[in-house]
Amino acid sequence: MAPQPTLSELDALVAGAEAAGLPVTLRVEGERRPLPAGAEAAIYRVVQEALTNALKHAGSAPTEVVLRWDAEAVEVVVADRGRVGGARAELPGGGHGIVGMRERVRVYGGSLSAAERPDGGFVVTARLPLDGSELVVA
């Protein structure tokens, strides 16, 4: 059994998506703060799913991952510019990726939005509080 992924592995995740044909950049803003291991894994999985969706649906559209730290929360934004020459490709799949991402961040008191961008493309934004006070135990 492999350990859960951490935020220190985002560089490798982005490099893997780029090797698969997705032009992607990673930008980190702010000072990294401590997070529970599960919250780090949740953020990693959100980025992983969002990059997979960008590769599947936006083809080779430029994509950016931003990991932003502030005093209260960590936010991750994955935004693609959309398929060149038209709408997003609709490929077969389970269709539960966004629901799964939302459930992952909700466990840590976070929120997730996913929507088409007005100027084309798609954006996924997840935000998790840093204090852990919103941890949901089910």
Please tell me which of 10-19, 77-86, 114-123, 124-133 the model is most confident about, judged by mean pLDDT.
10-19
pLDDT above 80: residue 9:
yes
3: pLDDT strictly greater than 90:
no
Q: How many other CB atoms are found less than 10 A from the CB of residue 34?
A: 8
User: What is the greatest pairwise CA distance in the chain?
Assistant: 45
Under the phi-then-psi rule, with left for phi > 0, alpha for psi from -120 to 50, and beta for the rest, what region is 66?
Answer: beta
- Residues 87-135 have pLDDT tens digits of 444 444 445 689 999 999 999 999 999 999 988 899 999 999 997 554 4
Q: Which pLDDT value is given to residue 95?
A: 53
Question: What are the residues whose beta carbons fall under 8 Å from the beta carbon of 119, sequence distance 6 or more?
Answer: none
Give me the pLDDT at residue 93, please.
47
Query: In angstroms, rounded to a whole number, what is the distance separating the alpha carbons of residues 129 and 38?
Result: 13
Q: Where are the alpha helices (DSSP H) in 20-136?
A: 37-58, 97-106
pLDDT band at 85; cut points 50, 70, 90: low
Q: Which residue has the higher pLDDT, 83 or 52?
A: 52
What domains are there in the chain, each with its CATH number? 7-129 (3.30.565.10)
Beta strand pairing call for 24-29 and 63-69: parallel
Q: What is the pLDDT of residues 20-64, one digit of tens each?
A: 999 999 999 999 998 999 999 999 999 999 999 999 988 889 999
